[in-house]
Copies of this chain bind each other. A is one copy, B any other.
Amino acid sequence: MNISDKKFTISIDLMGGDNSPDKTLEGVDLFIKRNKDKKDYFFYLFGNSDLVIDKIKKLKYLKSNYKLVDTKVVVSNDLSPMAALKKGKGSSMWESIQSQISKNTDVTLSAGNTGVLFVMSKMILKMLEGIDRPALAGLWPSDKGMNLVLDLGANVECSEKNLIDFSEMGSALYRSLFPNEEVKVSLLNIGSEELKGTEVLKNAYSKLKTLENMGDFKFVGYVEGNQITSNISNVIVTDGFTGNVALKTAEGVANFLTKNLKKYLTENLFSKLSILFSYFSLKKFRDKLDPRKYNGAIFLGLKGPVVKSHGATDSLGFSYSVELCYKIAKGNLNQKIKKNLENVKNLNEKG
């Protein structure tokens, strides 16, 4: 195949999450609408054709650039991940992951249950050599764009090795998504002094200082919770417990503030009038911080990349996780991860 003919192939589970497959299909359609000028992507869509075909006909942009794979097995949301795994073969989620092997697709996207997606992906794709824990990475709005935070909850407790692996995998992901930016890795801690934090953090700190010279990233040391949105670093590494608490706390505070702002801005006629004058400014504010633009968490450490869309997002939110998949495929994420891990291995062998 000529290099210019190369198409990045994205496998999509159409059936996961709320209001699917309508939401997922409309999301794909919205992505294509925003990327009409590009011809370098192709979709494998997995879902029950009885529920999908009529909907596809009504879409404006999803035309020749896809292949629909009929899947009839349905896995109940009430099952535990392990039970779902047993019954999952032949489901849209299973087949969308499996297609990375059978159809050699570049990346998988699903809005289904996180736990099930996680164990299924691990079982089908297997772990990358040298990695014993996969991580869940997510985008976080920052002063000048977007930062990456990982792990967001895949691992309750992490060793020093895990944190180093997350740094290397996170760097590779950041470089895939933002090829023109310098990668700046930090460890989330409760103070910026070298003496603070757990033993695991202190050991990871000194190891990362050495790895920095391998050229995969710049290591900027510790950051605190209030610096996750700053530009001091763009890859913030932490264990899954802390990362999950930070993410959920941030969501909670953002909701709390916007709820209160809305309450006060609509409390009387004057303040309501003010909204007329500030409509476009408030809209820009909302647009910039719209959580749908950050939709999509990435499982790192598997032999193929898997993206989890928020189950409750709408078609716009889903379209951004499709975009994330496209960037991951184009950025050749797993090649970059392998190269970085090779550097860690070399360092370990040296001493």
Contact = CB atoms under 8 A, between A and B. Distances in A.
B278 A274 contact: yes
Contact of A156 (B190, B245, B260, B273): B190
A285 B270 contact: no
A261 B285 contact: yes
Contacts of A197: 156, 241
Chain A's interface size range is 35 or more
- Among A240, A256, A273, A284, find the residue whose CB has the most chain B CB atoms closer than 10 A: A256
A252 B225 contact: yes
B188 A245 contact: yes
Interface string A248-292: 111111111110110111011011011111101110110011000
Contacts of A284: 264, 267
B226 A255 contact: yes
A188 B249 CA distance: 10
B278 A245 contact: no
A132 B281 CA distance: 53
A224 B252 CA distance: 9
Contact of A252 (B229, B261, B268): B229
Contacts of A278: 264-265, 270-271, 274-275, 278
A144 to B, nearest CB: 12
Contacts of A240: 190
B274 A198 contact: no
A244 B289 contact: no
A225 B198 contact: no
Given A268-B281, A275-B274, A281-B264, A256 B229 contact: yes
A210 interface: no
B281 A270 contact: yes
A90 interface: no
A221 to B, nearest CB: 16
Contacts of A143: 256
A233 to B, nearest CB: 13
A257 B288 CA distance: 10
Contacts of A245: 188, 190, 224-225, 238, 242, 245-246
List the 9 shortest-distance A-B pairs measured between CB atoms, nearest first: A225-B248, A226-B252, A274-B277, A274-B278, A225-B249, A271-B281, A190-B244, A274-B274, A264-B285
